[in-house]
Structure 1
């Protein structure tokens, strides 16, 4: 049995679709979800549903009973008191359940940056890497999907792109870095969960097929959308001000520290190879994902 957490999110939802299509008949699927009504009815009839938060000890204990593998994704907590609480604190009950139920394999959503000079001051990424260490300490076979910035994050700026031809960020306009589509992250997770011959602990980088700068992305979006799109760089102070009040102070500083570290090379530590590259180009993502949202 495979347990899928966050099955209604961008990554978990895509992963669930893949597993429903490709999982062998003898392999059961179980999902942990706060609101089962958010799952399509056709999905609910083909999976075992555990209702509740996977940060709750009783819920995650029930979810792990009889399971062989777990897909682990920590949901955002806008009002978390600290980055450690948001990641390791949320994961600690699950770590105990992995041990108690002798879970064999866990695949987690994490981030690039381990081993870089800025890894210890990278906000969300620093906390995510500590979470990986916590899970690995249980003795399960663990693979952390080491991700850069998601292409899909741009969907939150679809209205600005449509109405003003502008998207914003804090990194230098010409700084090239990897980006990944969430569907490629889900595919990487599915491959690991469907073939559990791997052992030990480690990272699986998901780098996408190319490094692009914000200016490169603006050029591609302009061509795909048939209208000018430009990038505006925000200062970290302006970025902090835009977040303040919308989420708690710990999350604000976690984002600011992460974006500062990205400017300083957080995502530069892994070389792209056939094993770390993924198929979805930014142009393809714009055509298939961004354009329909902007046009809608």
Structure 2
């Protein structure tokens, strides 16, 4: 039995079809934890056991983890809470349920940065690494998918790219760093969940095929979209003011700012890309499949 949390999110909606395709060959049953089962396609609901509720709730994870062999763990973003509460606090009930039900293996969505000088002051990343420590401390076999920033973050800029030919961030225009497609993270998770021969606790970097800078992204987007796209760097204090103005928790916003600052200082640059840590989807491919339809629609 594999339990999938956040099955309708960015990663989960790619992971679930992979597991549905492969689970019969592995004689695996699937169970999902979802707040709104109506968001699952009808064909999916017919093939999985559904636990309705939040996987941050003790009673929900107690039901969800009963009889489970493996869990895919993803903390949904909650900008109404400080980072520690949003990650480690949210995971606390699940950690207890993992022990209570003797779950053997957990694959979690986390971040790059462990072991770097900035890891302790990287906001949301620091909170995510603390979540990893909590899960690993239960004694389960744990693999933390250590991810850089996602290509999909650019979907938030689709309107600006369409209307102004501009996307923004706070990092230096020439700083190259790994970036990854969420579909590649889902594929890495599926492989680990289906082949549970691994033991102990470790990180699994998923780094995409190459490092890219904002200027590189602008060039590739311009080529793919057939229109000029340029990058504008925003000051960190402007980002903070904007997000707080949208009503987000101030401590959570500070966590975003601290994460962005750490990334601009090279937080994601500490892992060497190898055939084992690279993932296949290029930014140009992702633009053609995902960004272009969003911008040109």
Instruction: Pick the TM interval, shorter chain.
Output: over 0.9
Is 1:268 aligned to 2:279, yes or no?
no
Q: Deviations over 1:203-242 (max 9, x none)?
A: 0000000001000000000000000000000000111111
1:144 aligned residue? 144
Is 1:123 aligned to 2:123, yes or no?
yes
Q: Deviations over 1:15-60 (max 9, x none)?
A: 0011111112521000000010111111100000000000000000
2:46 aligned residue? 45
Q: Deviations over 1:82-116 (max 9, x none)?
A: 21111110001000000010001000000000000
Gap regions ≥5 residues in structure 1: none
Q: Deviations over 1:153-204 (max 9, x none)?
A: 0001101001110000000000000000000000000010010100000000
Structure 1 ranges of 4+ moved more than 4 A = none
User: Could you say what secondary structure the match of 1:23 adopts?
Assistant: helix
- TM-score normalised by the chain length of structure 2: 0.98
User: Could you say what secondary structure the match of 1:132 adopts?
Assistant: helix
Query: Shift in Å at residue 245 of structure 1?
Result: 2.8
> Structure 1 CA distance, aligned partners of 2:51 and 2:211?
40
> Structure 2 CA distance, aligned partners of 1:24 and 1:48?
15
2:207 aligned residue? 207
- TM-score normalised by the chain length of structure 1: 0.99
CA RMSD of aligned residues (A): 0.7
Aligned residue pairs, count = 295
Is 1:155 aligned to 2:155, yes or no?
yes
1:56 aligned residue? 57
1:280 aligned residue? 281
User: Could you say what secondary structure the match of 2:33 adopts?
Assistant: strand
> Structure 2 CA distance, aligned partners of 1:124 and 1:46?
35
Higher mean C-alpha displacement, 214-223 vs 247-256: 247-256
